[in-house]
Structures are given as structure tokens and as C-alpha cells.
Structure 1
Amino acid sequence: MVRYKKKNGSKAKYNTVCQGKDKKDGGGKGGRVSKKMRVAQRKKKKRVRILSNESKSMEEELQSKQKSKKERKRKEKNQRSVGKVGR
């Protein structure tokens, strides 16, 4: 268990935060994960579930869109590089 200093002026008291042991104390209960990370994990799971429920045609459509976008970007890039050579 890690103890953190309470910030109240000169009287710096120590208060214990979590019962789960930290890495510094050689493990113990599973390390506490920050709330942001937990939320991110939840969202990730949801996203995967939604994708699996959707029809395959939607997925294919999305991929084709991405492909065309990549193609367009590549063409633009080529165009730019050609212009540089001429200077």
C-alpha cells in the first residue's frame, strides 16, 4: 500500500489511498488502473461488439471508402513531388 502526502500546509499527514498493493510494494492485488484507461477499455469492447453485429456489406463499404481515400492521397502526393522536380 502506497501512502501519499496530504497537501495541507505544514501539517503533512500521510493517508493511505488504496488497499491494493502497488508495484513498489512487490505486487499484491491487481494494480489499480486509472479511470481513463478503464473507460477506454470499455469503449474498445463496445466498438468491437458493434462491428461484429453489423452486416458484412457495411464493413466492405467502409474498407472500399478507405482504399479510395488512400489512393487519392497517394495521387496528390505524387502530383506534388512532380511539381518540385520542375523547379
Structure 2
Amino acid sequence: MDELKNFLLGDYRETMDYVKKVERYGLTKFPPLIISCAITGGMHGKESNPNLPEEPEEQAQQSYDAYNAGASMIHIHARDPINA
């Protein structure tokens, strides 16, 4: 039990130790995790990446896709209407 407790509360900077622990215990033994996804940037738009959602419908779809991929929180930057 102590080994499992150390795994859950342990230091994950050593890659090989981490991999060995995951192989032994699997991913189901990890503590709860919150995944946050920032779907938009505050300054960049489609000129820098055509996949950035700018319209409300695009942002809703990207948020839904992030949720389906495991995100439990969405971070949306305010958009400047001039750069929208």
C-alpha cells in the first residue's frame, strides 16, 4: 500500500520511473485530474492559424470537441472585434 501511496503522491520528473509505474498500476490509479483547454487566443486569429475559432458557432463546436476529448474546463479569451 505504501508503494501505491508513493506512486500517487510521487515525483513524476523521472520519465523512466513514471513509465514503469504506469505499466505496473495503469492509468486508473492516478488521482483526479482537471483538464483545461484554451480554445481561442486573445490576439491571434485565423491569419496565424486557420483552426482558431472566431465565430460563436465555431467556439461552441471547439468547446464541445474539447469536452469529448476529456476537457472539463474551457478557457475563452475575449476577442477584439477589430481583429476578430
**What TM-score, normalized by structure 2, do the two folds share?**
0.22
Query: Which structure's relative contact order is higher, taking Cα pairs within 8 Å and 6+ residues apart?
Result: 2
Structure with more of its chain in helix, by fraction: 1
Q: Which has the larger radius of gyration?
A: 1
